Amino acid sequence: MSPRYSVVITAHNAAGTIGDSLRSLARQEGIAPRDLEVVLVDDRSTDDTLEAARAAGLDCLRPIRIDKAASSDLTTRQQALAVAFTEARGDIVLTLDADGIAAPRWVRHMVEPIEQGRVDAVAGGVSFRARTGWIGLWQTVDQTVYLSICRILSALGFASGVLFGSFAFRRELFAGIDGWERIGRTLIEDMAFAHALHAGGARIAYDARPDMEVEACASWGVLIERAKRVSAGGVSTLSIAIGGWMALLIAAAIAAVIFGSAAMTVLAVRYGLGVAHTMFALLRAGQWRLAPLAFLYEPLAIGIGALVAVRLMRGNSVEWGGNRYER
């Protein structure tokens, strides 16, 4: 008997996190054990990822090892995802990262709207944990705002984005879009996949609850490098919406410096609207304790964007999945 749900994970050198991630899946509530399988693709790991995964003791685990990347224009991450999606047997496929810790009802919350026929896919929220400092808080705010913008654009009928750190979709959709070969090489697989689903007429819902927790970047420098990869998506409705909105704040600030009080009102209104949206997104996601960061979010986001631009002037290459690619 085939499982109803397939949770897929692609992992590269994830021995330190994969065990906790799998154990969180073993604690899922409202899901019969026979209804769940976990497809783990170990993508050329040089550590003990598979051994750590097997030690977690999941009977539903299906480990798959990739020893060498195929000769393909696709990234190694796309190749691993293709294997995972193809091997999945459940009617609904869920994705999470190899460091993701799922809340006890994560699977139930993600699959219910799909099973009820209301949507074809669900994009879930995530939060970030950090060992020290407040980089995890920043990333949580950033991704919460990102998904809020994605939800708004999707509601308006535009192609938007999702996070593969917490995502679910009907399995036949992957074949319906002709897989990754049709999408082509990309360093932002989740957004490219979401765009392909939108083009195929799929309905995507956004669940703001952060039922998934992932590791934060180890440092601000690592965060900047990650942002270099994320910025490789080219021009899209989403990039125009985010970039244009931030550009309005920069333009208002410049005008306030040049024209003084005559432009201060415009700056105050634009800044206030940004704070209001950030706070609304956080409260909607149940992240009320992070609401004070709404006052800092956009200025910091602009500063990080400036640092990314400086890094890009030094070189376009980014590391992803154990390989380096040119943006």
Residues 166/126, Cβ–Cβ less than 8 Å: yes
Lowest mean pLDDT among 87-91, 159-163, 240-244, 258-262: 258-262
Model confidence pLDDT, tens digit, residues 3-23: 999 999 999 999 999 999 999
> Residue 260: is it exposed, middle or buried by C-beta count within 10 angstroms (0-12/13-18/19+)?
exposed
Beta bridge partners of 11: 42
How far is the C-alpha of 10 from the C-alpha of 161, rounded, in Å?
20
Give the pLDDT band of residue 33 (cuts 50, 70, 90): confident
- Residues 111-161 have pLDDT tens digits of 999 999 999 999 999 999 998 889 999 999 999 999 999 999 999 999 999
- Per-residue pLDDT band for 62 (boundaries 50, 70, 90) equals very high
**Amino acid identity of 149?**
I
42: CB partners within 8 A, 6+ apart: 11, 12, 49, 50, 53, 63, 64, 65, 66
pLDDT of residue 248: 97
Q: 234 pLDDT exceeds 90?
A: no
Domains, the chain, with CATH or none: 5-218 (3.90.550.10), 237-314 (no CATH)
Confidence bin at 256 (pLDDT 50/70/90) = very high
